[in-house]
A and B are shown apart, each in its own frame.
Chain A
Amino acid sequence: MPNQYFGDYITVLVFMAVGAIIVGGAVVAASLLAPNHPNKTKSEIYECGINPVGGGWSQSHIRYYIFALLFLIFDVEAIFIFPWALKVESFAEAGMGGFIFVEMVIFIVILLLGLVYAIRKGVLRWE
């Protein structure tokens, strides 16, 4: 069992390494092959042909924060769906499919109440 576990993750590692080599190789090849003649105008930040105003470190609006907050909560919800999804089939084979389905429906409906609250409070409205 432990050997199979680590074997699985060595497969993952090999995939990650191949991906890194492909991306890294493309970047290195581009920097070797592409012509490179920088000048001041070319390296300026481009924004629709207008000269940029202000610095790059600008302040963003608070309404993004609430979306990040909602994302965090529903991300935690999604985490709990993974072990459930792995077990649905074996529970269904044991005749408990209805039970495990209803459990997840209850879980999601309780959290949907939070989404309903957010919509009713106008949090999701982009004014």
Chain B
Amino acid sequence: MNDWLTQAENWAFILIALPMVLGAWRSVTSRNVVHSVLFLVITLAASAALFLLLGAEFVAWSVVLVYIGAVIVLFLFGIMITRAPLGMETELSHSNQTKLGAALVSGALFALITVAVITGFGETEIVSNPTRTSEIGQSMFERFVIPFEVVSVVLLAALIGGIVLARRDPAEPGDSSSSLGGAQSAHVTAEGGEA
């Protein structure tokens, strides 16, 4: 234990993990769904910091750019365009039974991952050599050129699929003059939000 406390990485880990757990807790318990998303930002930022601590530089900045930058914006828009009442909810809309089920599932998942990691790695010392982004570029263009191009096809499929799901039906000519707050296509949104 004494040995554990003397290492600087462990203190950095605690400094990162505390706000992460706090943000995760508040994003689940927050009564305002927009605040939940903003607390999720804290959790994601802390996970990016943990990746940095692990030496996975590229993954960390991918989390910052893609998750905090784009996915959170998508979440916020998804919340803001649905008909669901925004703002404070006086009571969380889940019964105790649902909460128990959620707690059981998340606890089981946590136990499963813990057991898998411990049996998988056990006492193996993980050599933490930081992977710089230029090394990733090196292997990307030396060994994984074709997979790299396939990624663009996957992204293209995601783009077209997202447009097909989220686009409003062109067979509603009367809609074009509606105000910015118009709600005609809220049901379309709900489907797109799941994608």
* A9–B83 touching, CB < 8 Å: no
Interface size of B as a range: 35 or more
Residues of chain B contacted by A1 (CB below 8 angstroms)? 129-130
- Contacts A1-B129, A87-B137 given; does A114 touch B159 at CB 8 Å: yes
Q: Pick the contact of A62 from B155, B156, B159, B186 — CB < 8 Å?
A: B186
Closest to A6 in B: B130
* A65–B192 touching, CB < 8 Å: yes
Expressed in whole angstroms, the Cα–Cα distance for A111 and B152 within the complex equals: 6
Of the stretches A18-26, A38-46, A69-77, the one at the interface is A69-77
Count: A-B pairs, CB below 8 Å: 159
* A84–B141 touching, CB < 8 Å: yes
Residues of chain B contacted by A56 (CB below 8 angstroms)? 87
CB distance from A51 to the nearest CB of B (A): 18
Bitwise, A89-119 to B at CB < 8 A (1) or not (0) is: 0010000000110010011101101100110
Q: Any chain B CB within 8 A of the CB of A27?
A: no
Q: Any chain A CB within 8 A of the CB of B27?
A: no
* B133–A64 touching, CB < 8 Å: no
Expressed in whole angstroms, the Cα–Cα distance for A72 and B36 within the complex equals: 20
Expressed in whole angstroms, the Cα–Cα distance for A62 and B77 within the complex equals: 8
* A118–B186 touching, CB < 8 Å: no
CB distance from A11 to the nearest CB of B (A): 13
Residues of chain B contacted by A66 (CB below 8 angstroms)? 162-163, 166-167
Residues of chain A contacted by B176 (CB below 8 angstroms)? 127
- Contacts A62-B168, A73-B159, A83-B137 given; does A103 touch B58 at CB 8 Å: no
CB distance from A45 to the nearest CB of B (A): 14
Interface size of A as a range: 35 or more
Residues of chain B contacted by A87 (CB below 8 angstroms)? 134, 137-138, 140-141
B70, B180, B183 — most chain A CB neighbours (10 Å) = B70
A57, A61, A65, A87 — most chain B CB neighbours (10 Å) = A65
* A86–B80 touching, CB < 8 Å: no
Closest to A122 in B: B170
Q: Any chain B CB within 8 A of the CB of A35?
A: no
Q: Pick the contact of B163 from A60, A91, A118 — CB < 8 Å?
A: A118
Residues of chain A contacted by B85 (CB below 8 angstroms)? 57
Q: Pick the contact of B140 from A9, A59, A83, A127 — CB < 8 Å?
A: A83
* B141–A65 touching, CB < 8 Å: no
Closest to B34 in A: A57
* B134–A83 touching, CB < 8 Å: yes
Expressed in whole angstroms, the Cα–Cα distance for A9 and B54 within the complex equals: 12
Residues of chain B contacted by A107 (CB below 8 angstroms)? 148-149, 151-152
Residues of chain B contacted by A5 (CB below 8 angstroms)? 55, 57, 130, 132
Expressed in whole angstroms, the Cα–Cα distance for A72 and B74 within the complex equals: 8
Q: Any chain B CB within 8 A of the CB of A79?
A: yes
A residues with CB within 8 A of B? 1-2, 5-6, 9, 55-66, 68-73, 75-80, 82-87, 91, 99-100, 103, 106-108, 110-111, 113-114, 117-118, 121-123, 127
**A-B contacts besides A60-B180, A69-B192, 15 pairs, CB < 8 Å:** A2-B128, A57-B34, A59-B81, A62-B168, A63-B168, A64-B81, A65-B193, A69-B74, A69-B162, A72-B66, A79-B61, A82-B58, A84-B141, A85-B137, A118-B163
